[in-house]
A and B are shown apart, each in its own frame.
Chain A
Amino acid sequence: MQEFFEQARRILAEQMEIEVERITMDTEFEEIDADSIDIVEMIMALEDIYEVEFPEEDTEDYPTMGSLVTALYEYLQKVKND
């Protein structure tokens, strides 16, 4: 999970041009001005890295980095175990 989170926050930090350390599990996307396009871009970059297609859910359901990354990671584990 830690490695997955590190990947995700590195991608988002690069997109938003901010320090990686500014993004924690508790960071709200709004706090760092990340909109739905930024979030979808991050998800698509993770899909490329992990060669998986994440479910097409509303990004609004996950207001924080932690809630989104956890949901994506759980899905990734499920796909791996299937």
Chain B
Amino acid sequence: MKIALDVMGGDYAPVELLAGAMKWLQESEGQIILVGDQEIINEELQNHSYNPNRLEIVHASQVIGMDESPAAALRKKKDASIVVASRLVKDGMADAVVSCGSTGAQMAAAIFILGRMEGIERPPIVAAIPGRGGKPTLLIDVGANVDCRPIQLLQFALLGQAYARGVMNLDNPRVGLLNNGEEEGKGNNLSIQTYELLSGQSGLNFIGNVEGRDLFSSRCDVIVCDGFTGNILLKTLEGMVFFLAAGVKEELGAIPATFTRLDYTQIGGAPLLGVNGISVVCHGSSKREAVCNGLNIAADSINNNIVDKQLQELSRLTP
């Protein structure tokens, strides 16, 4: 197993990215390809001891910044670290790419380099939110697409269902639409139009509108929303977990495991779905622990064969 890590993206690049890679190498058995400025990487590697047989460096002279227009930057910066890393996956030199850089650029690289699955316009990010009894609820999209059309939300629902079936081994996953009320007709234009599309989609176990609290209610297995809403929900959750964990620690002296399971540094990253390759998106503020866990998500995605499983499940829907 070989994972390409974009070491130039993120708030703490490259120091924490490299430290995360080293931690992963100590704890796992795979190989890592560090993608970025060779000179900077070599200098930083002097601070670490590692097995050179498990580490490669591929030079990339450019970086796509958080403030750049993703698609235009992708055309302009053909030697950007996320472009080079994604191309390694496309060319079969790596099994997955992991990045803490611009999500938009990573999504654009996934679209234009890895390629989309048939019938998928935009790849969403899926996050598995830990639930009761160890059963996670999938939240899709948590930030790749801020503006969505109803048809794209339908595609997210189909991808979420395919992921839940293929990877989580659920026979008939229940899919809900995130809304501000359960009744049909609730919500903004996007939710009302999406509700109609999801209701009319054969082969989709759509249970109707669900609310934010249903993320933990086990009422459904997949919750669909646009990336703007999903990202706000996810980050609110992260903030709330930090707040509650700090309060509980103050009062009881320890943090229960439930809080740790919801800590984003423990979750690490989340894969983009609907593309012909594994691309794991991590937090821009990831430090070594989160980077290491992001690499674990990539390894799990490779072991679970998530691309083939999505393709198999999607093809079941096509007559």
Given the interface contacts A37-B111, A40-B74, does A59 sit within 8 Å of B69 by beta carbon?
yes
Q: Is A58 an interface residue (CB 8 A)?
A: yes
Cβ A37 vs Cβ B108 within 8 A: yes
CB-contact partner of B72 in A17, A33, A44, A58, under 8 A: A58
Interface of B (DSSP majority class): helix
A35 nearest CB across to chain B (Å): 7
Cβ B70 vs Cβ A37 within 8 A: yes
Cβ A36 vs Cβ B71 within 8 A: yes
Cβ A58 vs Cβ B69 within 8 A: yes
Cβ B149 vs Cβ A33 within 8 A: yes
Q: Is A74 an interface residue (CB 8 A)?
A: no
Q: Mark B93-125, 1 if CB is under 8 A from A, else 0.
A: 000000000000001100110000000001000
Cβ B75 vs Cβ A56 within 8 A: yes
Q: Among A17, A57, A58, A60, which residue has the most Cβ atoms of chain B within 10 A?
A: A58
Cβ B151 vs Cβ A35 within 8 A: no
Q: Is A76 an interface residue (CB 8 A)?
A: no
Distance A17 CA – B155 CA, assembled complex (angstroms): 14
A selection of 14 A-B contacts at a CB cut-off of 8 Å is A17-B149, A35-B71, A37-B70, A37-B107, A37-B108, A40-B72, A40-B108, A40-B112, A56-B72, A56-B75, A58-B69, A58-B72, A58-B76, A59-B72
Interface residues of A (CB under 8 A from B): 17, 33, 35-37, 39-40, 43-44, 56-60
Q: A37-B122, A40-B72, A59-B72 are in contact. List 8 more A-B contacts (CB 8 A).
A: A36-B70, A36-B71, A37-B70, A37-B107, A39-B71, A40-B71, A57-B72, A60-B72
